[in-house]
Amino acid sequence: LLGPDGTIAATIFAEMSALATRTGAINLGQGFPDEDGPAEVLDAAREAISTGINQYPPGRGMPVLREAIAAHQLRFRGITVDPEREVLVTAGATEALAATILALVQAGDEVVTFEPFYDSYGAIIGLANGIHRTVPLRAPDFQPDLDDLRAAITDRTRLVIVNTPHNPTGSVFGIEVLQLIIELAHRHDAIIVTDEVYEHLVFEAKHVPIATLPGGRERTITISSGGKTFSTTGWKIGWLTAPPELVTAVLAVKQFLTYVNGAPFQPAIAVGLGLPDSFFTSAADTLRAKRDLLSSGLMDAGFTVSLPQAGYFVVADAAPLGHPDAVAFCRSLPALAGVVGVPITAFVHEDRRHEYASLVRFAYCKRTSVLEDAVARLAQLS
Ligand code: PMP
Ligand code: GLN
């Protein structure tokens, strides 16, 4: 985490957002929406502040939010969770992941993730002194190979961290992959952690929560967040659902990380989780149109594009445009075309970087006019 001179290495998202600010380029790097989410949710936060919900909430989260999370799990997943014992509210999915890994991983334990992986996984596995093993996801469909999975998950594995829908590739794992993960977790007594922050932003594919499959629930910690679904990434309201003893273990760590978080935002996210089905489907439909706009613009500009099935991001190969090194390409892209993207190598270990060297992640969770402007700028590359 520290650079050779003892300074903290900025996350790739902070570096690329700073580059966008410095150059005035369109920021398709860091994944955050540039429009507000549903008015009901924003109004509920204002209401909470003005009615005095401004002090420490309970350690597991406010009852109104834990009940809304349980109702959401029942409505969208058909599973009953106990809001008293099986739900924990966290400071974003980020803290849910950190507290889970720190609670469950002892020095030397192996943690399996897919690769490319969301950057915080590698950092927290490192803080826990765990050993990070990965299963590669390869273009064009970015689905794991079943034999690679069998080889990676062993008796040394403590956690398997699944991320579906996947950041950065936009893939949605197939049911046979999820079933095999459950089978291997049982065989090797591993715990499954699933990061499903993009659960509602799914296009053609069907998102199957691993906890809904036979044998999954009893050894799975399911993590999500209000940031993506309600376009409130700055509120940092996340949560996890899991069997009671796993929630208790994670809470033991969470209480010393943030203790509690976001009192007035908790009832507001509860309002969001209770919105009608039409809100969730229209959020996905709106985002699908943005995906199509940016993806076709990238193809027209000469990139090879793997069409994402979900989430905020599209992966584009810059090699056909004569840019084999995506890190160098992303650093020069503001000057070349006035756009910022993130090299996929930021989500990959050193020894595998060559396999992903020319791939760039672009975010399409932006206003249509901004995407149209970005597409026009990218057209200059061809
Ligand atoms: N996991 C994944 C896969 C993400 O893309 C993100 C960030 N968007 C997070 C976790 C962090 O979520 P949060 O902002 O709720 O902490
Ligand atoms: N999850 C967002 C992304 O992948 C960024 C979150 C962050 O900056 N840590 O772009």
The DSSP line for 316-352 is EE-GGGT---HHHHHHHHHHHHSEE-EEGGGGS-GGG
Q: What is the pLDDT of residues 242-280, one digit of tens each?
A: 999 999 999 999 999 999 999 999 999 999 999 999 999
The number of the ligand 2 atom at minimal distance from the alpha carbon of 167 is 4
The distance between the two most distant Cα atoms of the chain, rounded to a whole number of Å, is 58
pLDDT value, residue 14: 86
Contact 247, 85 (CB under 8 A): yes
Confidence of residue 13 (pLDDT cuts 50, 70, 90): confident
pLDDT value, residue 8: 64
Confidence of residue 228 (pLDDT cuts 50, 70, 90): very high
Which ligand is in closest contact with the Cα of 100?
A: 1
Is the dihedral angle over the CA atoms 4, 107, 138, 361 positive or is it negative? Answer: negative
Distance (Å, whole) CA 368 – CA 35? 11
Confidence of residue 5 (pLDDT cuts 50, 70, 90): low
Judge whether residue 6 has pLDDT over 80.
no
In degrees rounded to 5, what are phi and psi of residue 167? Answer: -105, 125
Q: Is the N-terminal amide bond of 140 cis, ω within 30° of 0?
A: yes
| Percent of the chain clearing pLDDT 70 (strictly above) | 98
The number of the ligand 1 atom at minimal distance from the alpha carbon of 97 is 10
Contact 301, 377 (CB under 8 A): no
Which ligand is in closest contact with the Cα of 170?
A: 1
The residue to mutate among 121, 197, 228, having the most atoms of ligand 1 within 8 angstroms of its beta carbon, is: 197
- CB atoms under 10 Å from CB of 126, counted, come to 13
| Cα-to-centroid distance, 296 and ligand 1 (Å) | 26
pLDDT value, residue 10: 76
Q: What is the pLDDT of residues 338-359, one digit of tens each?
A: 999 999 999 999 999 999 999 9
Mean pLDDT (whole number) for 169-187 = 98
- Whether the predicted model's global pTM rises above the 0.90 cut: yes
| CATH classification code of 39-273 | 3.40.640.10
Which ligand is in closest contact with the Cα of 94?
A: 1
Residue with the smallest CA separation from ligand 2 atom 8 is 13
- The alpha carbon torsion through 142, 17, 301, 355 (nearest 10 deg) reads -30
The domain spans of the chain are 12-30+278-381, 39-273
Residue with the smallest CA separation from ligand 1 atom 5 is 167
Burial 154-168 (b: 16+ CB within 10 A, else e): eeebbbbbbbbbbbb
Ligand 1: residues within 6 Å at CB?
A: 31, 92-94, 118, 163, 167, 195, 197, 225, 227, 233, 236, 238
Distance (Å, whole) CA 162 – CA 273? 23
Could you tell me which residue, 40 or 2, shows the higher pLDDT? 40
CATH domain 12-30+278-381 topology = Aspartate Aminotransferase, domain 1 (3.90.1150)
Please state, rounded to an integer, the average pLDDT across all residues of the chain.
Answer: 96
Confidence of residue 11 (pLDDT cuts 50, 70, 90): confident
Q: What is the pLDDT of residues 25-75, one digit of tens each?
A: 999 999 999 999 999 999 999 999 999 999 999 999 999 999 999 999 999
Ligand 2 pocket, residue 167 CB under 6 Å:
yes
Closest by Cα among 238, 232, 230, 258 to 92: 238
| Percent of the chain clearing pLDDT 90 (strictly above) | 95
